Amino acid sequence: MEKAEAELAQKRVEYAHVSEVWETKKKLFQAGGIPGGDLEAIRTQYAKSKTEWEQSARDLEIQRIGLRDEDLIKAGYGLPGSKEERITLLKEVGTRTLQAERNVAQGELSIARAELHRIELLLSETEIRSPLSGVVSQRAIEIGEKVSPESLLFSLYDPETLYAQVELHERDIPRIQIGQFAQVELDAPNPIPSMRGKVRLVTPYLNPQSRSTLVKILLDPPYNMGTHLQLFPGMFVRVRIPMGPTEKVIRIPESAVLEDLERLAPEAQASSSAGEGKGKPSRSESSESSEATTSRIPASSPNNFVFIVRNATLFKAPVVLGDRSEGKVTVRSGIEEGDRIVVNPSRGLVEGERVEVLE
């Protein structure tokens, strides 16, 4: 009986806990926080816990019935004076045991019905539906395979939210903003022309190896409406993101820049025409060439100059230089668009020397 009392106390604690969870889940369901399936599952658990608690109480009562004098008194009998009288009274009280056993059977029936309902609920959930619409890109299971809650079933993607991803170097991060225009191009010979998009995400994390961050560009309609079947996740693209106002500049090869006091040879390897562009190399023309041996100086030196070819004659032109990249340097002053310069002068060239330019 002591064991039964301890079990009854445990069932009472479990029932109280499940009751609190049941009330919380009902409030979440009314607020739209959980689906109906979750609410039904906890309701079943609540009913089962309540039934088990009640059954434990009845089991304890069964063990107590007829074993104490107070039970006889409670049943309306006086204390027996002899053994025979006690046996007679216990037979009468014993009929109450059958009633209690019937109540226990009814409780077990309630538990069985709750378990049946739980199994039916599980069967109804064997049909799994995706929480979103889209295109299946991967199927990880076959019919008849056993799965668990953490198993990967399918992979889907939404063709109406296609992004172009690009790695941006840390030096360019300050010049990019959310909503900035971008041009996205697929590799030829893809039938889709160039597409437009806008910067939607600049990842606030820098790759320590490449010193770059990930930028996501959402494509503009109609290319993000799921109607272009030529676009697939994982395709390679080229992305152009303007990062400042357009400016006309003159760019020349770095090899054309010399130091003023340096002695140069009379031959030149090549000449080019300085032209305007948007940070791109200008068009060039070549002349008779030879190997360059002249040492160069930093572009920031105030003594920088280049050789200009005019009427087949060499002229020195002091220049002020700007940014340099990919072997090219920007000329801020000193030459003009269309000037023909020696791109790789050799040792000994002098101003006023006559040269021959080969077209």
pLDDT digits (tens, 9 = 90+) for 186-224: 876 766 777 889 999 999 989 889 889 999 999 888 776
pLDDT confidence of 109, banded at 50, 70, 90? Answer: very high
Average pLDDT score over the chain? 78
Q: Phi and psi of 153, rounded to 5°?
A: -100, -60
Q: What percent of the chain has pLDDT over 70?
A: 81
pLDDT > 90? residue 116: yes
Specify the pLDDT at position 112.
94
* CATH class given for the domain over 163-240: mainly beta
All CATH 2.40.420 domain ranges in the chain, comma separated: 249-342
Least confident of 49-58, 72-81, 346-355: 72-81
Least confident of 66-70, 133-137, 249-253, 302-306: 66-70
Higher pLDDT: 351 or 261? It is 351
Specify the pLDDT at position 219.
87
pLDDT > 80? residue 326: no
Dihedral sign for Cα 168, 174, 179, 184, please: negative
Higher pLDDT: 58 or 246? It is 58
pLDDT > 80? residue 89: no
Residue of 285, 265, 282 whose CA lies nearest to 274: 282
d(CA 278, CA 250): 9
CATH number of 249-342, picked from 2.10.25, 1.10.1060, 2.60.40, 2.40.420: 2.40.420
SS3 84: helix
- When pLDDT is averaged across residues 290-313 and rounded to a whole number, the result is 64
pLDDT confidence of 228, banded at 50, 70, 90? Answer: low
Reading phi first (left if > 0) and then psi (alpha if -120 to 50, else beta), residue 75 is in: alpha
CA 11 centroid distance within chain: 45
Residue 197 CB contacts under 8 Å (≥ 6 apart), including other chains: 164, 181, 182, 183, 184, 217, 218, 219, 220
CB atoms within 10 A of CB 313: 12
